[in-house]
Amino acid sequence: MGVFRLIAAIFLIVWIVNIATDQGEAKGLPFDWPVALAILCVLLVADLWWIVAKWRAGAKEINEMRAKREQRKVRIEQHGVTAEATIENIDMGGMTITSGVKRELEVVLTLNVIPKTDSPFTVKTETMISELHVPQYQPGKKVQIKYDPVDRNNTKIIKTIVD
């Protein structure tokens, strides 16, 4: 929809320039330059309205995602159960944050969780770790986690456990 309006706007601008260079004579065109200018303005306003609407919808979605993530954090802090887990697999996530010489990597860990009072389960969790700490998060290593007993996918790594 936006591309069509952009092409129409370019066409109308070229048309207005051609009409203006011919001292305002339309030379067989169906309408004069003021009409073309009005159409161009309507198209540009419609595009701006569309862009703002999309931007507002995106901002709303981002705010909802942040609120949901914050609720999950609060829930795990209030109701989380501590357990030991063994790392089964580590994969790179899609994000890297560099701050000066410090580099944080997003990793996706597959954990085999062994709760004290519940049955074992496997979960995938995403977390940011320092590039220097990657050797501590290799398959076979143990970590202490907190998990939400209602939503077992809601986990938080507390610390690594040295064997």
End-to-end CA distance of the chain: 60
- Answer with the one of 71, 99, 124 that is the final residue of a domain: 71
Same domain, 107 and 131: yes
Name the domain count of the chain.
Answer: 2
- Does residue 76 lie in a domain region? no
- Answer with the one of 47, 71, 95 that is the final residue of a domain: 71
Take residue 57 and report the two structure tokens written for it.
Answer: 């919808």
Q: Reduced to 3 DSSP states, what percent helix, strand and coil does the chain have, rounded to the nearest 5?
A: 45, 35, 20
Q: What is the pLDDT of residue 43?
A: 77
- Is residue 84 within 8 A of residue 51, CB to CB? The reply is no
Q: Please, what is the average pLDDT of the chain?
A: 83
Domain range for 44: 2-71
Take residue 152 and report the two structure tokens written for it.
Answer: 């077992």
Residue 106 has φ and ψ, to the nearest 5°, of: -85, 130
Q: pLDDT tens across 18-31, in order?
A: 666 665 555 555 55
Q: What is the pLDDT of residue 143?
A: 93
CB atoms within 10 A of CB 155: 25
Q: What is the pLDDT of residue 94?
A: 85
pLDDT band at 2 (very low <50, low <70, confident <90, very high): low
Q: What is the pLDDT of residue 140?
A: 93
CA distance 90 to 107: 7
Same domain, 149 and 87: yes
- Answer with the one of 71, 96, 128 that is the final residue of a domain: 71
Q: pLDDT tens across 87-141, in order?
A: 999 999 888 889 888 999 999 999 999 998 889 999 999 989 999 998 989 999 9
Q: pLDDT tens across 9-59, in order?
A: 777 677 666 666 665 555 555 556 677 677 777 877 887 888 888 888 888
Task: Enumerate the β-bridge partners of residue 157.
Answer: 145
